[in-house]
Amino acid sequence: MSTTKSVELATPAAETFTLTENSTGRTFELPVIKGTTGPNVIDVRKLYAETGCFTYDPGFTSTGSCASGITYIDGDAGILLYRGYPIEELAEQSDYMEVCYLLLYGDLPSVEEKEKFRRDITYHTMVNEQITYFFRGFRRDSHPMAVMCGVVGALSAFYHDSTDITDPHHRMVASHRLIAKMPTIAAMTYKYSLGQPFMYPRNDLKYSENLLHMMYATPCESYDVNPVLARALRRILILHADHEQNASTSTVRLAGSSGANPFACIAAGIASLWGPAHGGANEAVLNMLEEIGSKHHIPEYIKRAKDKDDPFRLMGFGHRVYKNYDPRAKVMQKTCHEVLDELGMKDEALLELAMELERIALEDEYFVEKKLYPNVDFYSGIIFRAMGIPTSMFTVLFAVARTVGWVAQWNEMVEDPLQKIGRPRQLYTGETQRRYTPIDQRG
């Protein structure tokens, strides 16, 4: 079975775009390609050959980098679909293993397929015992994301039997290994920071429960995972599993386009996710709330967020694609209040401050006019805080969730008959050619 549905480009649409070069009157016909839904694309693959010009789109705000059948986002309508299924329905009715199967293979599993997949993942959750020695090289106070980057990249030194990207079986085994081992490595980074012994995964626990058990259990006594926290974590993992061609997924695809092994590509994705404008935002939200400190200071920070000369931005607000409410944020908001209520933390000062910031930002004209709604990171940071997870671990858990999306997109890229090494061009703005001047002749 191929790990992903092969991506068939929808038949090219009848229409084309005609480009006219005013200085010469030359015209160029650019075909338009239709997808199954969402914006069409103008096929510019021949543009440079025919016009001698590149397109120019820093940040890729208007650029489709690939054809994909995995995740669909309509930012204006606030729609997010995983293989066609609305995120709200998956968050409420599915579980993370089933969502992993869906993202990887394209359809919801049968009972037998789901049980086999769950077992395959479960029996890959241990890491090679040698990997425990990698941690010894890090300081105990290293940022967990730095450790994750290093250790996940090192996996390629252990699993040579699943690094041949041309072999579908290798790709499937590497995909399963990454999905299975990320929680174990995440929990190890946490335990290492505490100076506590690593806890092995348990095959009798479900994915979310296993992760929480490895993080919070000790060899000294039995530990029962709180079902409220396990349910909240399961929902967070589902909501963060994939998100179209975001920065870290595009990093994984670009790294993979050179033929790099999947472990190295996922390590590259982890590095990109770490940025505060991306997956690091949930950690940045909590750091921002601690800096604001009290509800009385909110107006000052809202003022700073609007000030073009002030680099301060309201962490957890805004999104490149969603110019309506992020549908994940709605589910996260509901989960956030459930967790706060069920843990009796409604009046926890920092969380109360967060709710007041949300209320004010949703009413403030600047944020309303620029459609800067709370995003998924705003609420995940608050839930993780309520769950007692240290701030520095927030993006690590985001990386655990997103690994299946990265892996599914990587497989799709490798299997895409149209894929080639990613190699963007540029608008050159530097010096034109000039002669070298020996140092004794320089001014």
418 touches ligand SDX (CB under 6 A)? no
243 touches ligand SDX (CB under 6 A)? yes
330 touches ligand SDX (CB under 6 A)? no
The Cα-based distances of 207 to 53, 328, 336 in angstroms read 50, 21, 21
**Residue 81 contacts residue 37 (beta carbons within 8 Å):** no
* Tokens linked to 58: 């820093």
Pick the binder of ligand SDX from 183, 262, 318, 327 (CB under 6 A).
318
Instruction: Enumerate long-range contacts of 360-363, CB under 8 Å, 24 or more apart.
Output: 360/298, 360/299, 360/302, 361/302, 361/314, 361/317
Q: Burial-class residue 281 by CB neighbours within 10 Å (0-12, 13-18, 19+).
A: buried
193 touches ligand SDX (CB under 6 A)? no
Query: For residues 431 and 208, what is the distance between their CA atoms, to the nearest angstrom?
Result: 55
Which stretches does DSSP call E strand in 1-153?
Answer: 12-20, 27-33, 41-42, 71-74, 79-82, 85-86
* DSSP H/E element including 57: none
Closest residue to bound ligand SDX by CB: 318
382 touches ligand SDX (CB under 6 A)? no
**Residue 79 backbone phi and psi in degrees, to 5:** -110, 135
H-assigned helices in 196-326 = 207-216, 227-239, 247-257, 262-273, 281-292, 298-306
Taking the complex as a whole, how short is the minimal distance between the CB of residue 93 and ligand SDX, in angstroms? 21
Taking the complex as a whole, how short is the minimal distance between the CB of residue 103 and ligand SDX, in angstroms? 13
**Nearer to ligand SDX by C-beta: 176 or 240?**
240
59 HSE (CA, 13 A, CB side): 4
Burial string for 155-193 (b: 16+ CB within 10 Å, else e) reads bbeebeebbebeeeebbbbbbbbbbbbbbbbbbbbbbbb
Query: For residues 14 and 292, what is the distance between their CA atoms, to the nearest angstrom?
Result: 55
**Nearer to ligand SDX by C-beta: 131 or 404?**
404
281 touches ligand SDX (CB under 6 A)? yes
Could you give the 3-state DSSP secondary structure of residue 30? strand
Marked catalytic residue, from 170, 176, 240, 319: 319
253 touches ligand SDX (CB under 6 A)? no
381 touches ligand SDX (CB under 6 A)? no
Annotation says 319 is catalytic: yes
Q: Which stretch binds ligand SDX (CB under 6 A): 20-28, 194-202, 374-382, 422-430?
A: 374-382
368 touches ligand SDX (CB under 6 A)? no
Taking the complex as a whole, how short is the minimal distance between the CB of residue 370 and ligand SDX, in angstroms? 4
375 touches ligand SDX (CB under 6 A)? yes
**Nearer to ligand SDX by C-beta: 47 or 247?**
247
Instruction: Enumerate long-range contacts of 291-296, CB under 8 Å, 24 or more apart.
Output: 292/353, 292/357, 293/353, 294/353, 295/352, 295/353, 295/356
Q: Which stretch binds ligand SDX (CB under 6 A): 12-20, 157-165, 310-318, 334-342?
A: 310-318
For the chain, the C-alpha Rg in angstroms (whole number) is 24
Query: For residues 406 and 160, what is the distance between their CA atoms, to the nearest angstrom?
Result: 20
374 touches ligand SDX (CB under 6 A)? no
**Nearer to ligand SDX by C-beta: 156 or 248?**
248
Pick the binder of ligand SDX from 3, 246, 261, 411 (CB under 6 A).
246
**Nearer to ligand SDX by C-beta: 314 or 340?**
314
Taking the complex as a whole, how short is the minimal distance between the CB of residue 403 and ligand SDX, in angstroms? 13
Marked catalytic residue, from 95, 242, 326, 377: 377
Query: For residues 259 and 166, what is the distance between their CA atoms, to the nearest angstrom?
Result: 9
Taking the complex as a whole, how short is the minimal distance between the CB of residue 321 and ligand SDX, in angstroms? 6
Q: Which stretch binds ligand SDX (CB under 6 A): 26-34, 98-106, 159-167, 371-379?
A: 371-379
Write out the DSSP string of 396-416. HHHHHHHHHHHHHHHHHHHH-
Pick the binder of ligand SDX from 278, 295, 334, 337 (CB under 6 A).
278
Annotation says 297 is catalytic: no
**Residue 348 contacts residue 386 (beta carbons within 8 Å):** yes
358 touches ligand SDX (CB under 6 A)? no
319 touches ligand SDX (CB under 6 A)? yes
Q: Which stretch binds ligand SDX (CB under 6 A): 100-108, 290-298, 370-378, 410-418?
A: 370-378
Taking the complex as a whole, how short is the minimal distance between the CB of residue 327 and ligand SDX, in angstroms? 11
- Residue numbers annotated as active site: 319, 377
Site residues for ligand SDX per CB under 6 A: 243, 246-247, 277-279, 281, 305, 313-320, 370, 372, 375-377
